[in-house]
Structure 1
Amino acid sequence: MTEPAFDHAVDATPAPRPTHVTLEGRFCRLRPLDPARDTDGLYALSHGPEAPQQWAYLFTGPYADKADFDAHVRTIAAGTTDPVYWAICTPDDRAIGWLSLMRIDTTHRVIEVGSILYTPALQRTPAATEAEYLLARYVFETLGYRRYEWKCHNLNEPSKRAAVRFGFTYEGLFRQHMIAKGRNRDTAWFSMIDIEWPQRKLAFELWLRPDNFDPEGRQKVSLAVFNRLLAHQGELVLRRATLADVPAIRALKDIAYAANETITGVLSLPRKADYAAMMADHEIWVADGEGHLAACAVLQVAPEAVIYSLAVHPDGQGRRLGDAILAFSERRLAELGADRVTLYTHAALEQRIAWYARRGFLRTHVEEMADRRVQHMEKAL
């Protein structure tokens, strides 16, 4: 499935270069590398029994001795233009890895994360994921880059899996792209772009929530699940929406809710929504139709599971797309850990309320608003 083209005028102002700011998280902090403070610990962590695997796909290392490693750390720590390195630190400021922003194209606002060293102390920890979140947020929100790249040796399967888990999209293979440590390197290219960032950011933040971890610190729902981009339900093929879809989402809501408004006499709440803003805290899924969106689901995942709105284009009547988009929404929220889901609709829409009731939703209460009465409903998943 192909997303709609997003060929439009953009701000051509060059992006600023990254600087050695400190980025604070809950599980880790990113700060400038400090050779005097960090070399001994990083050398011990990166030159143990797993050193050959850790350094296999990096351009340098492992190092013959600590003096050589120290010289390398001093070199990369001193860089302030391209690449720019950060130490990945524990909350008490102990360096356990590093990463960099590199191949910086300020004119076109394109930048790459690379030269990533995750020592055993960092691997498979929440800090490893939070470090990627902090840097991506800095790239998109502070610096204003349009495109964020991840590249790796095509033989580096863990790196390719990590790219997808973090929300990057595979773009292709550049054969014999470079020579690395005296050998041909085929490079796998991945990217994330600014119109995708709101939903990628949401996935990171949902994964990082304290309630996504059990008392032993184990994740309940994986980031790969939060970052799922495609889904199938009956004949519907759904994809995560991007900012490019906002006009089409608004158009679908306008046409889908028109019949309801002849009954209620008021503008439907989903037609009042700012869907660009909602991408920050709601999952939005769309299915493409012929020249328009066929369906759309807007789902709140936390702090509780809510089906905010569903819409099906009138062209889909008779194809049970309403059942499909509702079933998908329930399945998706259950996949994300919900055991109950709520929704609401105008209290005057008795046929719609009865339709939900036949699908297992129970009336809970009616909310009195200034211009309408809203029926709330709930279902156990």
Structure 2
Amino acid sequence: MTFDWKASPFPPAKVLEGQYCRLEPLDVDRHLDDIWAGNAGQTHVWDWLPAAPPQSKGEYRALLDSMVAKAGIVPLAVIDKADGKAKGHLWIMEIRPEHGVFEVGWITYAPALQRTRAATEAIYLVGDYGFSLGYRRYEWKCNNLNEPSKRAALRFGFQYEGLFRQHMVVKGANRDTAWFSILDGEWPVRAQAFRRWLAPENFDAQGVQKLSLGAFNQIQGEAGKVTLRRAGFADIPAILSLKNAAYTPNESIIGVPSLPRIADYTQVVAEHEVWLVDGESGLEAALVLDIEPQDFTIWSVAVAPEAGGRKLGASLMSFADERARALGYGSVHLYTHAKLTERIGWYERLGFAITHHEDMADRRLTHMRKTFAKAG
């Protein structure tokens, strides 16, 4: 297999601005005091790092100086925008422009930064920066004994790839290294999850999350005996083929192109949740969910003609209900062409009721909603 790959540029050191944190090129004179104040005496922070805990500000200065001088990495200070103080540092490392690979590592967070929105956003900012430069692969590696790091990788949406046994000797001990990655075709879905988790409306007045990043980052699901998976960019050709097969017959009834058939699926996969059902002969069904803070919409549901008769559509609708409940919504909204009366009747049998009609330039849409009974 060949493709027109061109090497990415080495990531220039620059400020990466977020909502809750700012990543700045590490400047020892400017950042040392804050970093030392936050990390002094916190020896556990260094348990899994290759260096011993600095015992003085002078030792910490020497360590940071060595980072700034080291070739092939981009060391960044993590600034908490709540007070403007540097509370940690990390590297963009293992940078291989010829292959489009970069890694986030040497993550050193003061206790005040750990388990905060800023700490998570820093990982997002590194990924978004690397992929914006054209990189293909974002890596996370850690000692296989470091269970918190492995859990963090999965929470962030990295996929576990395997174990490199006796990979390194660190501080005189063997290190088996667990490898994780996110690919460029997967990043839009992962980035969407980061943004949804980081949104201010996902936190209460005390700053406690309402929904976990793992909830937004869900990539597999079940609806009865049907297994679903989240789509990535690599699935777009199969999705287009499925949509053509599923929606073209409707166009003889509605007299206009079906909106789900003619959509830009690069944008749809990047901005919505697209769930797929695979079969032995290829893609059998697709569900697109448009999830906004104020509403949960089933944007489209499509089943391949050859997969008809197995109630896959009902399974997808059931999964949409479960997904809406899991994300805290009390109802599900959808719309369809007003001429598709059989489809409207099917939705009504599933518990949807017509709320209103919308007249557009070339079609009339019927909007429907299903409200869930309150628990208890």
Normalising by structure 2, what TM-score?
0.96
Corresponding letter in the other structure for 2:344: I
CA contact (8 A) 1:39 1:70 kept: yes
The residue that corresponds to 2:33 in the other structure is 40
The residue that corresponds to 2:212 in the other structure is 222
After superposition, the C-alpha distances for 1:349-380 in whole angstroms (9 at most, x for unaligned) are: 11110111111111011111121111011111
CA contact (8 A) 2:45 2:109 kept: yes
Counterparts of residues 167-182 of structure 1 (less than 5 Å): 167-182=157-172
Alpha-carbon distance in 2 for matches of 1:240, 1:294: 14
The residue that corresponds to 2:61 in the other structure is 70
Q: Structure 1 unaligned segments of length 5 or more: list them.
A: 1-7
Given candidates 354, 365, 368, the residue that maps to 1:374 is: 365
Q: What is the CA RMSD across the aligned residues, in angstroms?
A: 1.3
CA contact (8 A) 1:301 1:336 kept: no
Corresponding residue SS for 2:286:
strand
After superposition, the C-alpha distances for 1:176-195 in whole angstroms (9 at most, x for unaligned) are: 00010110000000000000
Q: Structure 2 unaligned segments of length 5 or more: list them.
A: none
After superposition, the C-alpha distances for 1:40-65 in whole angstroms (9 at most, x for unaligned) are: 221232233x42x2101111121232
After superposition, the C-alpha distances for 1:192-222 in whole angstroms (9 at most, x for unaligned) are: 0000011011101111111111111111111
Q: CA deviation at 1:102?
A: 0.8
Corresponding letter in the other structure for 1:84: V
CA contact (8 A) 1:12 1:107 kept: no
CA contact (8 A) 2:7 2:97 kept: yes
The residue that corresponds to 1:95 in the other structure is 86
CA contact (8 A) 1:364 1:378 kept: yes
Q: Which moved more, 1:289-298 or 1:130-139?
A: 289-298
Question: Does 1:113 find its partner at 2:113?
Answer: no
Q: CA deviation at 1:294?
A: 1.2
Alpha-carbon distance in 1 for matches of 2:210, 2:139: 28
Question: Does 1:128 find its partner at 2:130?
Answer: no
Q: CA deviation at 1:12?
A: 2.3
Alpha-carbon distance in 1 for matches of 2:2, 2:369: 44
Q: CA deviation at 1:10?
A: 3.3
Q: CA deviation at 1:122?
A: 0.7
Counterparts of residues 214-363 of structure 1 (less than 5 Å): 214-303=204-293, 304-363=295-354
Q: CA deviation at 1:315?
A: 2.2
Question: Does 1:21 find its partner at 2:11?
Answer: no
Q: Which moved more, 1:14-23 or 1:62-71?
A: 62-71
The residue that corresponds to 1:4 in the other structure is none
Q: CA deviation at 1:137?
A: 0.3
Q: CA deviation at 1:233?
A: 0.7
Q: CA deviation at 1:66?
A: 2.1
After superposition, the C-alpha distances for 1:132-186 in whole angstroms (9 at most, x for unaligned) are: 1111100001x11001110000000010011011110000000000010110000
Question: Does 1:199 find its partner at 2:189?
Answer: yes
Q: CA deviation at 1:316?
A: 2.2
CA contact (8 A) 1:231 1:237 kept: yes
Corresponding letter in the other structure for 2:320: S
Alpha-carbon distance in 2 for matches of 1:330, 1:61: 51
Seq. identity, %:
52
After superposition, the C-alpha distances for 1:287-341 in whole angstroms (9 at most, x for unaligned) are: 1112221111111111321110011112222211111000111211221222222
Alpha-carbon distance in 2 for matches of 1:34, 1:225: 37
Question: Does 1:157 find its partner at 2:147?
Answer: yes
CA contact (8 A) 2:193 2:213 kept: yes
Given candidates 35, 43, 46, the residue that maps to 1:55 is: 46
Number of aligned residue pairs: 370
Corresponding letter in the other structure for 1:193: L
Corresponding residue SS for 2:292:
coil
Corresponding residue SS for 1:192:
strand
